[in-house]
Structure 1
């Protein structure tokens, strides 16, 4: 019987700090002067305490005394004035999650609650709750932010009995706002809420609570100038202390967002959407294709999306792709008598309004080759807007539940998202913690609830060099090569014991044969000399084997370009992620983008025989320090390649933990022994989660290759081809 996943926490409750705040004081100072305010800090830090519990040794735990001391030393009456409670939260996360000049980060994830008890006069307390996780590159990101206002008291007419309609009764409410709004004006809310509530005369708490929620949402709507960044939900608890003789109070608790008041906010969106500022906002798009060269169609659509001036005559910075998902092959839904689909998703930054973006997407569909067909039928490419930041949009004159006849109309979030694994799974690769603004569930929760089908990840290999007389009609974008072949592999990681079952997903490990054209050190060979050796060898192999994927193993962008032009269709980038290598990485990224080829990214710290100290990752579980170092350092390199403008598509990246590079013998054994953990979906979130692995054990591959197969590696790199093919075949059969 399997046990529930352990989720232990170290908590600090109500640590008292006194800090200077420029806003929100109960007795505010003159403009620009800070007032010292007492605040309560509560922390919950995920940490597996099993080792401490079994050894009774505190060195394996988190020193909460040190945490408190660090916070009190950094945040006190001598601290530079802080504008808001949100600014205080940011400072606390900086202290906890960022590496200082001499110390490692105190923690990697934290839940934080900041409470101001001497808050506006009408309520007991206000505050901010948030959760943040450390990221590669000594940074962090907040997963959510929640504002709260506790026990806001006022008097109003409330009740259905005649006596209740004659006298004012005390009423209290609790507000919880989850919003992208940078900060919240707590004093203003505590003033307008009692005034509006005091003028009301509802008969039921239900109506009063709904009214409070709508008025609060209206305040948040007006407080945020960008309609695309309005994504709060409001929780309200309205209590009536005098309602029940033998109870302290009766209470109604509700949670609402803009979509719960379509008459108010859908109409406002329509009236504003023609006049809103051209602020850049994030949009999630889903892409699919099941006709023709499906992989070519997807890449062409993305390149056209990134070149809107050529498509609609729009501005140069109208659209930028900033992240992509893995690519999947899925069986069709709804209309099942049609070819299988290639599905993926991307995140874009755009200044286009939603209907303008919709027009651009439809134009791209036609350009790629989509023709009118039956609903949910075959198509060359399909592009759908899934999320537009947190906006809830329905452009139809009379919003309705039916989803027919949407031509020219737009409904966001996509109305069928919750039932489509082929959309949720790609979204989960990029924004697993994004909360659906209508369903109020994260993308990962929606994916967990949907019935899973047969979806496999896909890695495409383009045809290089381009075929003779190949005509590419779209002169506004880089040439998209036709697809030579593609690999598929399971979309869900399976541990070794799971692969023994009869229900396991089909999987096979590929063998990459290595031809070393530079037996001497790469650093001793000039780029020109390396090209002179590599180019003719690749051209000869390509001429003899037109359908064979060929990888070029180099850290030099010029060599990679020459090899791709000669016939290679994969880059094995052996460069490290040190500061001096960033220029090379940028150029290598451009080459990979231009040729649309897969890229193998290897973990390295420069000289393979040095930099073997991984003590900075001693916080990891025993026997996992090197693996944790690979996850963090290689994850940082992968993020630099994949995320941001001009990034390589996520589905084109294969990761290599770098066996034999900057690791001791024990470190190499650790990587081989538990290679699956390097790309496992673990908490806190692993930046390498889901990526396919290549493992190169060099001349020790008679041992390393079976280990790699047992750990689920997609590719093993070998020198002795024929012998190692037999080894991998046996290992595949065993595991």
Structure 2
């Protein structure tokens, strides 16, 4: 019996199959297996039809014995480096991800996108770099051919080695295989010396080890052993074509002011003030918010205060869509701000984005509508995933955090991030919100404000995300100050905004825009240095 070749860590193993094993067709062997074997190994493969013995990889054997279609190829996990420093860098990377999906290369997870200084050829613009985990049936060379065809289709022109490029797609890892060919080496030969590769890769598989014989170091260990890059790469989150990206790891980043614009009659502090039927009043209000310093306007058509009852989908649509459309088409000052839709309903989110919204802000992080996460992915917009338990009517009873508020909220948010990624939402489009006042009591809210930095750096899997804090006029402020009327809690809110900025928030969601812009301006000068 001939030897059976398994291309994994250069090991060769012999497998014997029973007479009732399901075997690959000749076309599958010729098209899928032989092209990916080293030339010196092809002679070891027996293709004698009718024999009870066949030679192919362990993955193929398991697939066929499990009863799969003989022509169904096994699936492989690969990691692809993403890079661009020409033109609209993020747009180009997102187009490449879509093209991979069209080519049946499933993008399962992505890293953040880091803005990095060029390496090797220094006289060129900064790059956006990231990594994605993909699932594919393609062999290594087939995958390489497909990625190169995507690069060409997107207009890549390679003029200088390691020079400027509109899109760059490199295979870093393919399963745990070592693959050597004149066109491709896996693992990528230079990946362990490149911060701009290891940094995003460590967001996905920090504790895994490269398939290099004789070593037992993790990717995170390799990253930590590199000299600190200068300048340090910055994680970026792209929220709107109207604004520069959030730079969540830049210590000098400014805090964004998100203005609350409720078009509901029953919001806890400003219900009934703004209605879609009164467009002149809406115009005046939006202009004043922008003048006061708002860079994002968050529009809500249903109250989510504790104990509130939901309105119907049709009513919510009737409240918010005319408002968004009017802001986008009739208020020139709004050309330089982002619009956020505050909703947990997928249809409202989708129609709001079609009307001009840039951000989907879901208090439930996709738990109240099963179509929300797929809708978020389909729109390609930035999303805010907030921590909440239950519904607005039940959340006040769901306040048990046995492992501590940071650990439990962090763990639950990490699960929502995983669900978002599984739905196709890119990590570089996600903003997190710990959900002050939602399934939290006053000690919980104060602990979050006190320990926000722990969410940012102390919960594995949540590093590099931007954070939104929404402390404005919250009930715990009234309890602490004795101010019962929510609209009069400005001073208490100012303290919470300062604490949020000290803890590292990127966005504060507020009612009193003029006052909180001033608070943020001073707090930024103190803490963002």
Query: Does 2:343 align with 1:548?
Result: no
Counterpart of 2:472? 698
**Mapped partners of 1:270, 1:565: distance in 2:** 58
Q: Alignment partner of 2:172: what SS?
A: strand
Counterpart of 2:447? 670
Counterpart of 1:688? 462
Counterpart of 1:531? 317
Report the alpha carbon displacement of residue 377 of structure 1 after superposing the two structures with TM.
0.7
Question: What is the aligned counterpart of 1:557 among 324, 346, 356?
Answer: 346
Q: Counterparts in 2 of 1:156-555, with a 5 A limit?
A: 221-222=13-14, 267-268=40-41, 277=60, 278-308=73-103, 318-396=104-182, 409-438=183-212, 440-453=216-229, 454-462=232-240, 483-491=241-249, 505-520=251-266, 522=303, 523-543=309-329, 544=331, 545-555=334-344
Deviations 1:536-591 (A, max 9, x none): 2112222322231111111011111111111110010112665xx3xx1x422222
Task: Answer yes or no: is the 8 Å Cα contact 2:77–2:175 preserved in 1.
Answer: yes
Counterpart of 1:14? none
**Mapped partners of 2:125, 2:16: distance in 1:** 45
Question: What is the aligned counterpart of 1:640 among 419, 424, 427?
Answer: 419
Q: Alignment partner of 1:534: what SS?
A: helix
Counterpart of 1:722? 514
Change (3 A) 1:271 1:355: farther
Change (3 A) 1:395 1:626: same
Deviations 1:74-98 (A, max 9, x none): xxxxxxxxxxxxxxxxxxxxxxxxx
Counterpart of 2:20? none
Task: Answer yes or no: is the 8 Å Cα contact 1:697–1:705 preserved in 2.
Answer: yes
Q: Whose radius of gyration is greater, 1 or 2?
A: 1
Question: What is the aligned counterpart of 1:629 among 394, 408, 417?
Answer: 408
Report the alpha carbon displacement of residue 271 of structure 1 after superposing the two structures with TM.
7.0
Deviations 1:181-209 (A, max 9, x none): xxxxxxxxxxxxxxxxxxxxxxxxxxxxx
**Ranges in structure 2 where 5+ consecutive residues have no aligned partner:** 1-7, 18-36, 47-54, 61-72, 267-301, 304-308, 475-492
Report the alpha carbon displacement of residue 702 of structure 1 after superposing the two structures with TM.
1.6
Query: Does 2:378 align with 1:601?
Result: no
Task: Answer yes or no: is the 8 Å Cα contact 2:9–2:211 preserved in 1.
Answer: no
Task: Answer yes or no: is the 8 Å Cα contact 2:113–2:236 preserved in 1.
Answer: yes
Change (3 A) 1:593 1:490: closer
**Ranges in structure 1 where 5+ consecutive residues have no aligned partner:** 1-215, 226-263, 309-317, 397-408, 463-482, 493-504
Task: Answer yes or no: is the 8 Å Cα contact 1:577–1:604 preserved in 2.
Answer: no
Counterpart of 1:679? 456
Report the alpha carbon displacement of residue 270 of structure 1 after superposing the two structures with TM.
9.8
**Mapped partners of 2:9, 2:200: distance in 1:** 31
Deviations 1:148-186 (A, max 9, x none): xxxxxxxxxxxxxxxxxxxxxxxxxxxxxxxxxxxxxxx
Question: What is the aligned counterpart of 1:566 among 340, 355, 359?
Answer: 355
Change (3 A) 1:577 1:341: closer
Report the alpha carbon displacement of residue 351 of structure 1 after superposing the two structures with TM.
0.7
**Mapped partners of 1:628, 1:562: distance in 2:** 36
Deviations 1:476-529 (A, max 9, x none): xxxxxxx4443242538xxxxxxxxxxxx4222211111011242544422112
Report the alpha carbon displacement of residue 395 of structure 1 after superposing the two structures with TM.
0.8
**Mapped partners of 1:605, 1:718: distance in 2:** 22
Change (3 A) 1:331 1:266: farther
Deviations 1:431-479 (A, max 9, x none): 10110112542110111111222211111134xxxxxxxxxxxxxxxxx
Counterpart of 1:651? 428
Task: Answer yes or no: is the 8 Å Cα contact 1:509–1:712 preserved in 2.
Answer: no
**Mapped partners of 2:343, 2:335: distance in 1:** 22
Report the alpha carbon displacement of residue 713 of structure 1 after superposing the two structures with TM.
0.8
**Mapped partners of 1:355, 1:374: distance in 2:** 23
Q: Alignment partner of 1:546: what SS?
A: helix
Counterpart of 1:186? none
Task: Answer yes or no: is the 8 Å Cα contact 1:631–1:678 preserved in 2.
Answer: yes
Task: Answer yes or no: is the 8 Å Cα contact 2:366–2:373 preserved in 1.
Answer: no
Report the alpha carbon displacement of residue 428 of structure 1 after superposing the two structures with TM.
0.5
Change (3 A) 1:363 1:271: farther
Deviations 1:286-329 (A, max 9, x none): 00001111111000000000001xxxxxxxxx421111101111
**Mapped partners of 2:244, 2:115: distance in 1:** 11
**Mapped partners of 1:723, 1:224: distance in 2:** 76
Q: Counterparts in 2 of 1:120-159, with a 5 A limit?
A: none
**Mapped partners of 1:428, 1:613: distance in 2:** 38
Report the alpha carbon displacement of residue 376 of structure 1 after superposing the two structures with TM.
0.4
Q: Alignment partner of 1:572: what SS?
A: strand
**Mapped partners of 1:218, 1:411: distance in 2:** 13
Report the alpha carbon displacement of residue 614 of structure 1 after superposing the two structures with TM.
7.4
Task: Answer yes or no: is the 8 Å Cα contact 2:246–2:506 preserved in 1.
Answer: no
Change (3 A) 1:727 1:220: farther
Q: Which has the higher strand share?
A: 1
Please report the RMSD computed on the Cα atoms of aligned residues, expressed in angstroms.
2.7
Q: Alignment partner of 1:432: what SS?
A: coil
Q: Alignment partner of 1:461: what SS?
A: coil
How many residue pairs get matched? 414
Counterpart of 2:287? none
**Mapped partners of 1:576, 1:593: distance in 2:** 13
Task: Answer yes or no: is the 8 Å Cα contact 1:459–1:486 preserved in 2.
Answer: no
**Mapped partners of 2:396, 2:322: distance in 1:** 37
**Mapped partners of 2:321, 2:255: distance in 1:** 28
Report the alpha carbon displacement of residue 373 of structure 1 after superposing the two structures with TM.
1.0
Which structure exhibits the higher relative contact order, with contacts defined as CA atoms closer than 8 Å and separated by 6 or more residues? 2
TM-score, normalised relative to structure 2? 0.73
